[in-house]
Structure 1
Amino acid sequence: MTTLAILTAAGSGARLGRDLPKALVDLGGSPLVLHAARRLVGSGVVDALIVTAPDGLRDVVSDLLAADDRITVPVTVVGGGPTRQASVAAGLEAAHARHDVVLVHDAARPLIPADLVQRVVKAVRAGHGAVVPGLPVTDTVKQVTPGGDVEPVVATPDRSVLRAVQTPQGFARELLVRAHEAGRERAVSEDLAATDDAGLVEALGEPVHIVPGDAAAAKITTERDLRLAELELEGRA
């Protein structure tokens, strides 16, 4: 019984405004993808790693990970697809069936704590087929009818029952494979693709469970996010 982590690193990261893919953007002297890989491996509960690389950069990512002495588990690098969903599917296709738990993690969340990874794996092994880390929503949230500069409010959801989800998300392997097979047609387009793997499981009608997330697992999308991650890395945040 082993755990595989699929690390998605194929996105362009256009909103970060750099001339290279987000996963290769520097944070404290190392690219985001290397930070994320180190954290996954360092959790002690990941036995193998599959990384989805940006178009044309498979060898670059492979060499980067191979040269790092903190990456102590087998690593396979595959080319990513046109969407995040397609990239995860490519990672699943490259996976060995012996892995009974699969984590899916985004390189855009480079500073995941070890105990967060452990918490997700523990919950899957306790019998929950799909497990997602999440944080309580602190802002008031409005549901609107989108479109135009002024959007009408439809409802104000009760924020006590809302969670902002993070990665890594954990799954029983057979459930994740089944969810991706059922949602395969959605993977070709950003307009249709699932924004997270738990959404594909939900589409099957299967339950998804939440475990406590961690603020340190914040996603890097903008330059401000990157600056905050630098402070976190330096221990000043």
Structure 2
Amino acid sequence: MKVVGLLIADPKGPDPRASVHGAPLLWHAVHGLLEAADRLVTAVPQPLCGDCEHIVRSVPSAGSRCRVLACGPDRAGDLRRAVEAATPADVVLVHDVARPFVPRATVRAVAEAVFAGAEAIVPVLPVTDTIKLVSGDVITGTTDRDRLQVVQTPVGYRPDVLEKLCAHGADPLSDLPGTVRTVAGHPTALRLTTAFDTAVAESLLEEQG
């Protein structure tokens, strides 16, 4: 099984150079994906390319397996170029730098499920809060949370499925194809967008030792 990782740093997301749990967000994300990917292409905002190149090269075993590209506002276009830059693969993992602490077991489960025949795979967690439907400031109903799941990344794709999505201008991290199966996600794979998110992630990691 040959796996390629495509790691995206959203220009509107957290700074990939921000330090969390002793290292930059980008360092953690690259290190985690390289546990399962043979090759990794990282797309980061143009002004950050130099710094991010240095961070990527500091990850053990990165070497020639990683490439850093400049990204713009068109994520589908960025991914299309990243796919073209990557070597042929059986599985493509599309991941968000803002989720730097996805356990290696989750990453491998996504890759293995695609290799086993799924078109696309996404890790999910069950919704534990009660979800209400609201119109204005009035509650109008309750949604059955047993049918709701929290979506995480990486999203695993067969290369041909990902290429078709990008060709149609879709965002492979949010505009998922029609047939997407799931594997179990993990609490530490939360998206770090606020200081509170970061504190929660670091607390969970401390508990795990």
The answer to whether the aligner puts 1:164 opposite 2:150 as a matched pair is yes
Q: Among residues 47, 70, 81, which one is paired with 2:72 in the alignment?
A: 81
- Residue type at the aligned position of 2:59: D
Q: Aligned partners of 2:64, 2:147: CA distance in 1, in Å? A: 38
Gaps of 5+ in 2: none
CA RMSD of aligned residues (A): 2.1
Count of residues paired in the alignment = 209
The Cα shift of 1:236 comes to: 6.4
Deviation readout 1:61-93 (Å, 9 max, x if unpaired): 112211332435610111112144443333223
Q: Aligned partners of 2:108, 2:64: CA distance in 1, in Å? A: 16
- Residue type at the aligned position of 1:93: E
Name the counterpart of 2:110: 120
Mapped contact 1:47–1:73 kept (Cα < 8 A): no
SS of aligned partner of 2:197: helix
Q: Aligned partners of 1:229, 1:215: CA distance in 2, in Å? A: 8
Q: Aligned partners of 1:154, 1:180: CA distance in 2, in Å? A: 38
User: If each structure's strand is expressed as a fraction of its own residues, which one has the higher value?
Assistant: 2
Mapped contact 2:16–2:52 kept (Cα < 8 A): no
Matches within 5 A, 1:73-112: 74-96=65-87, 98-112=88-102
Mapped contact 1:198–1:208 kept (Cα < 8 A): no
Mapped contact 1:111–1:216 kept (Cα < 8 A): yes
The Cα shift of 1:198 comes to: 5.8
Name the counterpart of 1:143: 133
Q: Aligned partners of 1:83, 1:230: CA distance in 2, in Å? A: 31
Q: Aligned partners of 1:208, 1:50: CA distance in 2, in Å? A: 23
TM-score, normalised to structure 1's length?
0.80
The Cα shift of 1:54 comes to: 1.6
Identity across the alignment (%): 34
Large movers: runs of 4+ above 6 Å: none
The answer to whether the aligner puts 1:35 opposite 2:28 as a matched pair is yes
The Cα shift of 1:214 comes to: 0.6
The Cα shift of 1:29 comes to: 2.2
- Residue type at the aligned position of 1:12: K
Mapped contact 2:57–2:63 kept (Cα < 8 A): no
In structure 2, the CA distance between the partners of 1:217 and 1:57, relative to structure 1 (3 Å rule), is same
